[in-house]
């Protein structure tokens, strides 16, 4: 099968992930011993951009970096992944930070501080031009909501597919829902948004080790089951799923879901927000066809 690779615009967050591992996650007020520490480039927007690029998508990324010691590392991580960053902004102050704790079973807890991401409130003229040239615009909710709404409205009017990973959860305006073609949520987020999701034509709900479910126009649904893997760290698995879904969306829902499910599962096999390469994901997709 000849796959169609999408031109993807990502307007999203870029963070440094400060990752500690422990045998179990601490309870409220409890201190536990850690077993390792690492500083890993992350952020939902950047993770999804890198995941889509690793799978062959042509990806343009708009976000903001600060001026601390993490700035060159975060910029390089995007460029090395093949993501185009000509309009990546730099503002005075710290980069975005995510403090992540991972237990022995791969489960995690995350606290995000926006940093430079909080300055992303308006699109430039060049940003707007690039969005209209994309096949898919990929958005999340780690940036100020006003730029998410502006980007979605512009893309929708231009005929670009608007894909929203509605995370972290917050109230969504009727205007944003009306200009969104595809919403991607996990099971908990789906419960939060259950009243709003019926307004969106395509809804994809991820269920961790149980795979994902798609609900389309008219109520039709598709379920996918991920390959069996040895889980090391679930951090970024959802981002790998979303990036793959965007990369393969124009190949049809069934194909996009197979690739996304395999990519999300394989992302758990390494520490940090790992973006599996095309060749590795293809092996699993072909095996489970």
Residues of the binding site for substrate: 15-17, 43-47, 142, 239
What angle do helix axes 125-132 and 145-158 make, rounded to 10 degrees?
50
Exposure string over 153-183, b if 16+ CB within 10 A, otherwise e: bbbbeeebbbbbbbbeeeebeeebbebbbbb
Residue whose token pair is 């929203």: 164
Categorise residue 273: left if φ over 0, alpha if ψ from -120 to 50, beta otherwise: beta
Residues facing residue 58 across a β-bridge = 7
Extract the tokens encoding 40: 């890993």
Residue of 175, 239, 254, 286 marked active site: 239
Known binding site: residues? 15-17, 43-47, 142, 186, 206-211, 233, 235, 238-239, 267, 270, 272
Active site residue 239: yes
Number of Cβ atoms within 10 Å of the Cβ of 88:
19
For residues 161 and 135, what is the distance between their CA atoms, to the nearest angstrom?
A: 6
Catalytic residue annotation: 239
């Amino acid at each position: 099968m000849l796959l169609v690779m999408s031109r993807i615009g990502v307007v999203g967050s870029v963070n440094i992930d400060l990752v500690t591992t422990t045998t179990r996650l601490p309870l409220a007020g409890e201190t536990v011993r850690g077993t390792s520490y690492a500083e890993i480039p992350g952020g939902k927007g950047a993770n999804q951009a890198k995941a889509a690029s690793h799978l062959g998508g042509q990806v343009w990324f708009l976000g903001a970096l600060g001026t601390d010691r993490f700035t060159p590392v975060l910029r390089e991580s995007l460029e090395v992944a093949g993501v185009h960053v000509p309009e990546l902004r730099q503002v005075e102050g710290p980069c975005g930070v995510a403090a992540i704790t991972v237990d022995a079973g791969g489960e995690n807890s995350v606290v995000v501080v926006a940093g430079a991401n909080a300055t992303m409130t308006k699109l430039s003229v060049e940003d707007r031009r690039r969005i209209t040239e994309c096949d898919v615009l990929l958005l999340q909710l780690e940036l100020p909501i006003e730029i998410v709404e502006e980007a979605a409205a512009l893309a929708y009017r231009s005929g670009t597919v608007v894909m929203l990973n509605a995370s972290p959860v917050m109230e969504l305006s009727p205007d944003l829902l009306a200009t969104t073609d595809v919403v991607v949520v996990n099971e908990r987020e789906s419960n939060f948004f259950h009243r709003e999701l019926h307004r969106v034509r395509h809804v994809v709900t991820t269920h961790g080790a149980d795979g994902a479910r798609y609900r389309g126009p008219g109520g039709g649904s598709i379920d996918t089951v991920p390959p069996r893997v040895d889980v090391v760290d679930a951090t970024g698995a959802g981002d790998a799923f979303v990036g793959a879904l965007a990369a393969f969306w124009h190949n049809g829902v069934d194909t996009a879901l197979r690739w996304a499910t395999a990519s999300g599962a394989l992302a758990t096999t390494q520490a940090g927000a790992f973006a599996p390469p095309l060749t590795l994901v293809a092996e699993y997709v072909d095996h489970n066809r």
